[in-house]
């Protein structure tokens, strides 16, 4: 990820691991969610304020590719990038790396979201949010 990237730090807790002491696969989607909401807040769009403005951005699709195990106690860095936008959908791309000098790539993934109003009707993203996804 070479474009504007937001970094979120995650400390792996014991409860997030499986019997082999590896991070359980579904936890990566939780890490992506934490990273995405922190990224939005850093851009000035805390999720609560998005909802107050009448926006919801539920997940339509999610993908994760697991490349190396993360373990209890690991410090992870989740890198989040606003990847693409169309009339209604937003896509975020993620990389999870082991923190520190190691930097091992643990997982990559993405989530696609639709912008909706409180009743569930699709709506266009507002221009300030859309600008974060615009490569120009």
Work out the pLDDT band at 129, boundaries 50, 70, 90: confident
Give which of 87, 106, 81 is closest to 96, Cα–Cα.
106
Q: What is the mean pLDDT of residues 38-44?
A: 94
Query: For the segment 66-112, what is each residue's pLDDT rounded down to a tens digit?
Result: 999 999 999 999 999 998 888 889 999 999 999 988 899 999 999 99
Backbone φ and ψ of 15, nearest 5°: -65, -15
Q: What is the mean pLDDT of residues 105-133?
A: 92
User: Which has the higher per-residue pLDDT, 8 or 101?
Assistant: 8
In this structure, which topology does domain 6-133 adopt according to CATH? Thiol Ester Dehydrase; Chain A (3.10.129)
Helical H segments across the chain, by residue range: 27-42, 47-52, 127-133
- Write down the mean pLDDT value for the chain: 92
């Amino acid at each position: 990820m070479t474009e504007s990237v937001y970094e979120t730090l995650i400390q792996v807790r014991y409860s997030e691991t499986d019997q082999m002491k590896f991070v359980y696969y579904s936890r990566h989607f939780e890490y992506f969610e934490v990273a995405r909401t922190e990224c939005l807040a850093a851009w000035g769009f805390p999720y609560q304020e998005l909802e107050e403005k009448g926006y919801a951005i539920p997940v339509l699709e999610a993908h994760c590719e697991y490349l190396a195990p993360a373990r209890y106690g690991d410090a992870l860095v989740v890198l989040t990038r606003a990847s693409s936008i169309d009339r209604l959908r937003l896509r975020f791309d993620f990389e999870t790396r082991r923190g520190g000098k190691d930097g091992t790539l643990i997982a990559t993934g993405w989530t696609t979201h639709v912008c909706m109003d409180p009743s569930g009707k699709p709506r266009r993203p507002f221009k300030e949010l859309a600008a974060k996804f615009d490569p120009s």
